[in-house]
Amino acid sequence: MGRRTFLAAVGTGLAGCTASPAPAPEVHLPVRKQPGVVTPALSTTELMAFDVTVRGRAGLTEVLRALSSPVADAVVTIAVGASLFDGRFGLERPRRLTPMPSFRSDVLDPAWCHGDLLVQVSADSREPVDAALARQIPGLTPRWRMPGFHPDGTRNLFGFREGAGNPDASDAKLMDEHVWVQPGDDEPAWCVGGTYQVVRLIRLAMPSWDAEPLEVQERVFGRTKDTGAPLGQASEHDRPDFASDPGGRRIALNAHIRRANPRTPESEAHKILRRGHSYRLSESDAGQIFVCYQRDVELGFATIQRRLAGEALEKYLLPFGGGYFFVLPGTDDGHVSLG
């Protein structure tokens, strides 16, 4: 992934999202998106949240301009939090952008939550990420930052493979359906080409997990640890067959994948693109930086998270931070856009 530049176009309005005249057949307007969402995950990713201390749109433009200045070999993705829309800048808020609520079993630490801006930097090594985040940018107060990594290919710190249940990020049509805000959505026009980003900082109870026998761990997820196949099936990409197992004999009713995606006609509307990372702050503090993207945060993350309440995985997790953000659209000339 090479150099990327995003300059702010604050206050200039729309990024290729003019409505097309009524019955035109499939007119494709060039809606630009930022990288770091559907592009392949890189080995090192750090999230850094800031509060903005400048006043007025011109000041905000400068801040975004500085943040989006190029850093070699880093992919920078810029998102905004609900607090940026408190009237300071006269901006029109993405309709579903609220502060992240506290869900059952969350123990949220305000020092690790929310932020006016979220900057995500990814690279294939540490140096470009450090370089991007070491820049001193006037008008920004750091709020929290969390360095993430992929420990072993696609496995998380609990040793399970991740990604099987994700929609295919290389399928542009699928991503338009589930990830990117589209023309005609019930959103301010400037939001087209953006996406809701949910971040959850989740400490993992590693000693308790490691003490569990393999079969317990597999029952918690509903998949085998080795291959990632749904329990009772042969390979990772086999579709779990819950319909023929209504009592949960093969895959428990409170297994993570069964709660997360019950695979009923109703649950089809609740699709998210997960892009998680692991973190390790100390010997005793390690976990998951859960990140997901969706076109509608209520239909996506929030519905799924409520369904996960009481799942078998819950007792090994401590969600303590994160937030709801909105990834800004890109523009034709490589800017980010904020209406």
Give the binding site for ligand HEM (CB under 6 A).
156, 158, 160, 162-166, 200, 202, 221, 223, 256-257, 260-261, 272, 274, 288, 290, 301, 304-305, 308, 317
CA neighbor of 271 nearest in space, from 176, 201, 206: 176
Select 17 or 308, whichever has its Cβ closest to ligand HEM: 308
B/e letters for 158-190, b = 16+ CB within 10 Å, e = fewer, are bebbbebbebebeeeeebeebbbbebebebbbb
B/e letters for 52-91, b = 16+ CB within 10 Å, e = fewer, are bebeebebbbbbbbbbbeebebbbbbbbbbbbbbeebbeb
Select 178 or 200, whichever has its Cβ closest to ligand HEM: 200
Q: Report which residue's Cβ sits closest to ligand HEM.
A: 165
Select 88 or 263, whichever has its Cβ closest to ligand HEM: 263
Classify residue 148 by burial, with Cβ atoms within 10 Å: 0-12, 13-18, 19+.
buried
Please state the closest distance from residue 276 (CB atom) to ligand HEM, in A.
Answer: 7
Please state the closest distance from residue 179 (CB atom) to ligand HEM, in A.
Answer: 13
Select 133 or 308, whichever has its Cβ closest to ligand HEM: 308
Please state the closest distance from residue 256 (CB atom) to ligand HEM, in A.
Answer: 5
Please state the closest distance from residue 222 (CB atom) to ligand HEM, in A.
Answer: 8
What are the counts of helices (DSSP H) followed by strands (DSSP E) for the chain? 7, 11
The CB density around residue 338, as the number of other CB atoms within 10 Å, is 27
Select 6 or 160, whichever has its Cβ closest to ligand HEM: 160
Select 62 or 314, whichever has its Cβ closest to ligand HEM: 314
* Inter-residue contact 113 to 322 (CB < 8 Å): yes
Question: What is the residue-wise DSSP string for 243-292?
Answer: TT-TT-SSS-TT-HHHHH----TGGGG---EE--EEEEEETTEEEEEEEE
Please state the closest distance from residue 162 (CB atom) to ligand HEM, in A.
Answer: 4
Select 181 or 297, whichever has its Cβ closest to ligand HEM: 297
Amino acid at 240: P
Please state the closest distance from residue 156 (CB atom) to ligand HEM, in A.
Answer: 5
Select 93 or 274, whichever has its Cβ closest to ligand HEM: 274
**Three-class DSSP category at 29:** coil
**Nearest-10 Cα torsion for 37, 193, 299, 223:** -20
Please state the closest distance from residue 158 (CB atom) to ligand HEM, in A.
Answer: 5
Please state the closest distance from residue 209 (CB atom) to ligand HEM, in A.
Answer: 9
CA neighbor of 76 nearest in space, from 93, 64, 62: 64
User: Rounded to whole angstroms, what are the CA distances from 187 to 134, 184, 219, 328?
Assistant: 34, 8, 40, 13
Select 222 or 329, whichever has its Cβ closest to ligand HEM: 222
- The C-alpha atoms of residue 276 and residue 199 are separated, in whole angstroms, by 9
Please state the closest distance from residue 75 (CB atom) to ligand HEM, in A.
Answer: 22
CA atoms within 13 A on the CB side of 193: 28
